[in-house]
Amino acid sequence: MNWLGPSARVERFEADGELRFQARNQLNGIMLLFPCISGLSFFYSLLHGEYRYAAVSAVAFVSALLGLFPTKKTLWVSGKGVETSSDLFDSASHRSFRWSEICALKYSLGAEDDPSGLYIRTGRWSETCVLAGVDEAQANEIIEAIFERFPNIELADEPKPLFGNLLGQESEFIRLGLSGHGEGPQST
Q: What is the pLDDT of residues 10-61, one digit of tens each?
A: 889 998 889 999 888 777 777 788 888 999 999 999 999 999 999 999 998 8
Contact at 8 Å (CB) between 188 and 170? yes
Q: Is the dihedral of CA 114, 116, 121, 124 positive or negative?
A: positive
Residue 81 pLDDT class (50, 70, 90 cuts): very high
Count CA atoms closer than 13 A to 93's CA, side-chain side.
8
Residue 175 pLDDT class (50, 70, 90 cuts): low
Q: The whole model's pTM is what? A: 0.66
More confident residue, 3 or 107: 107
Query: What pLDDT sits at residue 77?
Result: 93
Query: What pLDDT sits at residue 47?
Result: 93
Contact at 8 Å (CB) between 57 and 42? yes
Domain residue limits, the chain: 8-25+71-158, 28-67
**How far apart, in whole angstroms, are the C-alpha atoms of residue 86 and residue 74?**
6
Long-range contact pairs involving 63-70 (C-beta distance under 8 Å, separation at least 24): 64/34, 64/35, 64/38, 65/35, 67/31, 67/34, 68/27, 68/31, 68/32, 68/35, 70/24, 70/25
* Percent of the chain residues topping a pLDDT of 70: 76
More confident residue, 110 or 70: 110
Count CA atoms closer than 13 A to 3's CA, side-chain side.
1
Q: Which helix (H) or strand (E) holds 8?
A: strand 8-15
Query: What pLDDT sits at residue 94?
Result: 81
Q: What is the mean pLDDT of the chain?
A: 79
Query: What pLDDT sits at residue 1?
Result: 46
How is domain 8-25+71-158 classified at the CATH fold level? PH-domain like (2.30.29)
Please state, in angstroms and as integers, the Cα–Cα distance from residue 108 to each residue in 37, 118, 128, 132, 139, following that order. Answer: 29, 6, 10, 10, 9
